[in-house]
Amino acid sequence: MTRSGGTLGGMPGRKTAETAGNRPATISDVARLAGVSVGTVSKALNGRGSLRAETRHRVLSAAEQLGFQPNKAAVALNSGRTYTVGMITTDTIGRFSIPLMMGAEDALGAGEMSVFLCDARDDPIREQYYLRTLLSRRVDGIIVTGRRTQARPPIGTGLPIPVVYAFISSTDKGDCSVVPDEAGGAAKAIDHLLAVGRRRIAHITGPEHHHSATVRAAAAADRLAEAGLGLAGPPLFGEWSENWGRQAAKIVLSGDNEIDAIFCGSDQIARGVADAVRASGRRIPEDVALVGFDNWDVMALGSQPPLTSVDMDLEKLGRTAAELLLAAIGGRPSPGRHTNPCRLVIRGSTAS
């Protein structure tokens, strides 16, 4: 017992050497135990300066013995760096945010960065509240994500730290955004359907006011036009639901022109379409080939047959965003819009 225990409450329990359940060891505890000064401890622990091997070793084992963990708040205070970033999901954490966050968290964790999670729930007030909090905590940078790809106003202007937008993008062209190449993904879907011999391709998708729906629909039509063809009928805009997929499929199938493929704006829609197609007595993919979008495993694999789908590679996108943020924090910003390619994952709904 070299230290007086203080009066912080005496919970017994298992302890790591001197570090009882109460106060975490500080650098001067280590110094005292090793019989050196705090400066020496700092050098030993950070490998700075030049010390006798014996001293260094003595310090290290003292630190070990006390279970010493440097207080990051103190480090932050005089380095000006917190090794912390904020991640704001502007709309609720959901199916799209998760892989993004996981990718980002992964890349940042490797860079010794900790991540503050902020769920703004589509509320601009909450968003600004979180922004202030993060600035107050002096995070080194911020990642902004959302569930829609549509550009949004910047979360702040003239901020003292870099910001990277992931999946969503900023309306300010100078801001750094990482977005999926949805148009390219739609083109890949069409190319694939053409490659497996389909010519009468319909498109069923989400609401017309939804950015992704219009982008994907336009890209599909363009790609077909480049091939000297056109969509079999105008795109059917509706909801992002299985139910709409079922309804829309009925409409498409009852049309006079016999279609041989349907490209859907989402896997949920595609799944509804699949059910309706099968109910109509047609076979997938023999009579009607089907391509979805999102490659949402539970939908794509639960479907019968499993769905060919466009994967936006959200985890990679999150990782990229994190890397760009780290670079920007390091003084190497990459302003502007960065596009990530989509992958086409081929499964039973198009493979004959």
Partner DNA sequence: TTGAAAGCGCTAACAG
Partner DNA sequence: CTGTTAGCGCTTTCAA
Of residues 68, 61, 62, 67, the one with CA closest to residue 16: 67
How does DSSP assign 46-106, residue by residue?
HT-S---HHHHHHHHHHHHHHT----HHHHHHHHS---EEEEEESS-S-TTHHHHHHHHHH
| Closest distance of CB 33 from DNA, Å | 12
Q: Are 260 and 201 in contact (CB under 8 A)?
A: yes
Considering CB distances under 5 to 8 angstroms, the limit depending on partner class, which of DNA, a copy of itself, none binds residue 101? a copy of itself
Q: Which of residues 127-186 bind a copy of itself (CB under 8 A)?
A: 132-133, 135-138, 157-160
Omega cis (within 30) before 154? no
Q: CB-wise, 87 or 325, nearer to a copy of itself?
A: 87
**Cross-strand partners of 339:** 179
Report the 10 Å Cβ neighbour count for 26.
17
Question: Would you count residue 116 as binding a copy of itself (CB under 8 A)?
Answer: yes
Question: Would you count residue 46 as binding DNA (CB under 7 A)?
Answer: yes
Q: CB-wise, 31 or 253, nearer to DNA?
A: 31
Number of residues that bind DNA (CB under 7 A): 32
Question: Would you count residue 242 as binding a copy of itself (CB under 8 A)?
Answer: yes
Please name the helix (run of DSSP H) or strand (run of DSSP E) that holds residue 347, with its range, or none.
Answer: none
| Closest distance of CB 137 from DNA, Å | 11
Of residues 181, 177, 147, 151, the one with CA closest to residue 163: 177
Where do we find the tokens 């063809």? Answer: 229
Q: Among 91-99, 193-201, 287-295, 320-328, which window interacts with a copy of itself (CB under 8 A)?
A: 91-99
Determine the angle formed by the axes of helices 267-279 and 242-254, rounding to 10 degrees. 50
Question: Would you count residue 137 as binding DNA (CB under 7 A)?
Answer: no
The CA distance from 170 to 152, in Å, is 5
Q: Are 185 and 293 in contact (CB under 8 A)?
A: yes
Q: Among 38-46, 117-125, 145-153, 317-325, which window interacts with a copy of itself (CB under 8 A)?
A: 117-125
Q: CB-wise, 23 or 57, nearer to a copy of itself?
A: 23
Number of residues that bind a copy of itself (CB under 8 A): 55
Q: Among 5-13, 29-37, 245-253, 283-291, which window interacts with DNA (CB under 7 A)?
A: 29-37
Cα of first residue to Cα of last residue in the chain, in angstroms, is 76
Question: Would you count residue 7 as binding DNA (CB under 7 A)?
Answer: no
Question: Would you count residue 47 as binding a copy of itself (CB under 8 A)?
Answer: no
The CA distance from 244 to 236, in Å, is 10
Q: Which of residues 232-291 bind DNA (CB under 7 A)?
A: none
Question: Would you count residue 60 as binding a copy of itself (CB under 8 A)?
Answer: no
Contact pick of 3, 19, 26, 344 for DNA (by CB under 7 A): 26
The CA distance from 269 to 278, in Å, is 14
| Closest distance of CB 47 from a copy of itself, Å | 17
Give the distance, in angstroms, between the CA of residue 226 and the centroid of all CA atoms in the same chain.
33
Residues in contact with DNA by CB under 7 A are 23, 26-28, 35-43, 45-46, 48-52, 54-56, 68, 70-71, 74-75, 77-80
Residues in contact with a copy of itself by CB under 8 A are 13-16, 19, 21-24, 69-74, 76-77, 82, 87, 92-94, 98, 101-102, 105-106, 109, 114-119, 132-133, 135-138, 157-160, 241-243, 268, 271-272, 275, 298-299, 302, 304
